[in-house]
Structure 1
Amino acid sequence: MSESEGVLESSYVPYDSPFQYAEYNFEHTALELARSQWPNYDDQHYLRGCKWSPDGTCLLTVVRGAGMHVMELPSDLYSGDCVQTSRPIVPLMPAVSVPEGGLIYDYCWYPGMNSGNPATCCWLSSGHGGPIHLWDAFSGDLRCTYRGYNNQDEVEAAMTVCFSADGQNLFCGYKKNVKIFSTGRPGREYVEFPCSHQVSCLVASQAQPGVVAIGTYKNTIELVSQSDGSFRHLCKLNGHKGGITTMAFSLDGFRLYSGARKDKDIICWDLRVPGRPMFCVPREVNTNQKINIDLSLDGKWLVSGGTDGKVQVWNVSEQTYPSVHMQMGLHSDCCNGVSLHPSRPILATASGQHHSMDPLHHTRNSMQYENALSMWWVGPQQEDPDLLSAIIKAATHS
């Protein structure tokens, strides 16, 4: 396949959702809908987060040493206001798998992804020692590559990648700069924005086109505005104890949420009055692993995983200093990925982490760890009347 074949056109393709707007109900325990499990080999196939596609039809995850996988949303979950508690857990099977061998640093969906338009169905990934890849979400084929080079004219791996809000550009974070590629022009053509520290996380604002938050491993966040192919510095945010690993803009663009490694605080920044945190909420993060956060499209619910396997939920629209609205122990190992479905009350989670070798057995096979991708219903639930009557009948006869 040539570099230009199958590449998206530069014009943004808006997504017309076939779903209703999501209404999350974090008042009951999450009901597990579907699950996929990876075995614990010597090289530990733990997951590295998960992300719903913008149209909500499928879920993308990366498994260390086992490539990238796209899971489709079960067909019975496309409609309906509630789910019966007796619904069986459906095994998730990859619809598309890409056996990428090296370590994947970061990945993201094309923001205009719409399953009704195959040209828009793709995602980006960046891995160790290689260029940035654009993958076809229907076939798993490689569409094209974007190559960044260092001062020695060697291909350099991007630590983090994201699309601009309109999908026309790629922002890619490197050791000393952010490189901006045009989505419709793969190859090695790009412009650079110098950074004083290695870039660890990037996120683009949907409400403020061109505004990008750049997180670094030096605990800082820099807000910049892109115009005419270059970046203009807006402000710098300081407050985290570790390197920035996850960020999320609110849909109105007024707030930025950020989390860092070995840092138990998620900080909310009010970008109308930058420089001072609006509030902080706690979570359990005691390793360097990337523990993702996510924000519902209406800006009401903030969710985060934790190294303790728990998912915490905050109603960030209620008050200035929100307390934990709900805490769910969904996994027995580290919950590193959380993703809220854009239009259905479904939460996706990913679990797993690196475990050191057992010093007694000199192997990792003697211990079992959870490496799972799960979908959870966080909307209204209904008891199955037939099951309930059967339970009552059995109790009466006993």
Structure 2
Amino acid sequence: MLTTATKETLQDPVIQRQSHLPIAIAATKVSLLEDEPFYHLQKISFAPDGSRFLLIDVSRLVSLYFSPNDILNYSHFAHLRICKPSTRIMVGECVRDVDWFPLMDSNNPATCAFITCCKDHPVHLWDGNDGSYRCSYCAYNHCDELVSPHSIRFSTFGDSIFCGFHRRLCVFDTQRPGRDFIEYSLTSYRGQGPSLRGIVSSIDSKIEEPYYLTLGSFSGVVGLGDYRVDQANFLHTTMRAHNGGITMVRFVPGSSTLLLAGARKDDDIVVWDIRNTNKVVYRLSRKSETNQRIGFDIDHTGKFVCSGSTDGIIRLWSLQNGRLFMSWNASRWSISSVSWNPCFPLLASCSGQRCFPVRSHSCLGSKQGSDSSSESIESEWFSSNRQMKQEDDHFVYRNKVAALWYFQSL
């Protein structure tokens, strides 16, 4: 079951061979129970050792899946494997962000953990094997009220947890849960020095320089700083990356200078060289026409970057020259998130979007036709439209599907 490339006019067209395109080998099964609504998946994330992955649902559900052990022993992939979750965690509110412990090792159960942040809840640390609760990290404002971060991130060695708030950054010690944290202000005193306004929506750190951070905000500004300095001088430079709100910022592994940033309602992923922040290296074109978060991910070698899109097409670029390497139609709906497996040539993607019903029961922004790859994946559980007719009068969520793609040659 090979996928076929979508015949569309791209900004940088490439010749794509059918044998080079990835194969859909596994997918998550959507439950059609009445008590489980059709909420879409908003994020997927592989563990650092590639043994499992997380699926984040807008219905306050976090599902833990284990990667198939014999997935690379197949000589051919004749049938689509259906993955079932090993455990599910119902959190208090919609999950804003999630991150794995970076030094995770399946042979050491103590390191199998991940953190989540939700609205009106502290940061929770969960067990990566059975989904049990471990501890919490609570942040408070000047009125001694509990505040919830909008973005979280482990440090490179897992000794600290970074939490992004409105105009401030809080750093927790991983070994000391509770309310002890160090606060860094992101606004300058009387306009002297760089300032990062708005909500901190994404955080990332360098592998080579773990104390060097990049912060993206919903004001469209990316800030660079070092949290080893005093709280007043955390930021040392800012740059205007997008007109819309930044949804993701990532350093390129293996490169100490390249930085990628993506925003909502912006079709470009901007690639920066932090040595010269006044000039963009190149732009990677995708489709992001709504306010939905469209995530991208960089492989562990730092050679390729992959991104979802609102048109259901997954695009893969080469970071050496910024040229489009391949693209394929993965879903009839938006691809909200992608994640590379750090150990195997596997890519995980999840799809779905919030839709408003119209007379023809179609979705705004959806395509009338779809590719054979997306049809073959979704026909496993969307063989009839009986459940689709039970829609809400206000809005509905469609296509709660995640798939694993195997690259034969990359």
**Shift in alpha-carbon separation, 1:159–1:368, aligned structure 2, 3 A:** closer
Matched with 1:187 is 178
In structure 2, the partner of 1:13 is none
Which residue matches 2:368? none
Could you tell me which residue of structure 2 aligns to residue 296 of structure 1? 299
Q: Which amino acid aligns with 1:307?
A: T
Segments of structure 1 that go 5 or more residues without pairing to the other structure are 1-24, 382-398
8 A Cα contact 1:50 1:350, kept in partner: yes
Measure how far apart 1:285 and its partner are. Answer: 0.3
- Give the aligned partner of residue 18 of structure 1: none
**SS where residue 256 of structure 2 aligns?**
coil
In the TM superposition, residue 39 of structure 1 has moved relative to its aligned partner by 5.2
* Aligned equivalents of 1:349, 1:279: Cα separation in 2: 25
Q: Deviations over 1:243-277 (max 9, x none)?
A: 11012211132211110000111000112222321
Is 2:54 aligned against 1:60?
A: yes
Paired residue total? 351
Sequence identity of aligned pairs in percent? 27
CA distance in 2, matches of 1:56, 1:187: 30
TM-score of the superposed pair, with normalisation by structure 2: 0.80
Residue type of the alignment partner of 1:261: R
Q: CA offsets, 1:324-376, max 9 Å, x none?
A: 11111111111011011101110000111111244798963698831111111
Report if the CA contact (8 A) 2:354-2:397 is conserved.
no
Distance 2:271 2:18 in 1: 21
Q: Which runs of 5+ in 2 are unaligned?
A: 1-16, 187-196, 362-388
The partner residue of 1:258 within 257, 261, 264 is 261
Aligned to 2:408: 379
Alignment partners' CA distance in 2, 1:330 and 1:233: 40
Shift of 1:166: 1.1
Q: Which amino acid aligns with 1:152?
A: C
Instruction: Pick 1 or 2: higher relative contact order, CA cutoff 8 A, min separation 6.
Output: 1
Contact 1:126 1:133 in 2 (8 A): yes
Corresponding residue for residue 364 of structure 1: 391
Do the aligned partners of 2:89 and 2:131 also contact (CA within 8 Å) in 1? yes
Whether 2:142 is the aligned partner of 1:142: answer no
Aligned match for 2:44, one of 27, 45, 50: 50
Structure 1 pair 174/325, CA: closer, same or farther in 2 (3 Å)? Answer: same
Q: What CA deviation, in whole Å up to 9, does each residue of 1:161-199 have, x standing for no partner?
A: 001111100000112311110000011111111133211
TM-score (norm 1): 0.83
1:162 matches 2:153: yes
Task: Give the 3-state SS of the residue equivalent to 2:131 in structure 1.
Answer: coil
Residue 177 of structure 1 is matched in structure 2 by 168
Check conservation: 2:29, 2:84, Cα contact below 8 A.
Answer: no
Three-state SS of the structure 2 residue aligned to 1:227 is: coil
Equivalent residue number for residue 220 of structure 1: 221
Match of 2:380 in 1: none
What is the alpha-carbon distance in structure 1 between the residues aligned to residue 129 and residue 230 of structure 2?
31
Q: In structure 2, how many angstroms separate the alpha carbons of the residues matched to 1:218 and 1:228?
A: 24
Contact 1:346–1:379, Cα closer than 8 Å, also in 2: no
